[in-house]
Amino acid sequence: VQHVTIEQGPIMRKYGLAELHISTAATSHSIPGLTMYEAEMLKTKIAELAKVSDEDV
């Protein structure tokens, strides 16, 4: 995992929604329609898992 970002456009912000973007060396994925809470929790968890993976190498 290289980057994990949260994006919100004006309409998504109005409804309290966000899109989580996850980038790796090979590809990227996004998860749209998350609440901000869900997006923040997933971002934190992914960052923790990526850190553990780096330490194992």
Q: What is the pLDDT of residues 2-51, one digit of tens each?
A: 899 999 999 999 999 999 999 998 999 999 999 999 999 999 999 899 88
The whole model's pTM is what?
0.81
Rounded average pLDDT over 50-55? 67
> Has residue 1 got a pLDDT over 60?
yes
Task: Note the pLDDT tens digit of each residue in 6-18.
Answer: 999 999 999 999 9
H or E element: which one contains 10?
helix 10-14
Nearest alpha-carbon partner for 21 in 35, 32, 10 = 32
Q: For residue 54, what pLDDT is reported?
A: 55
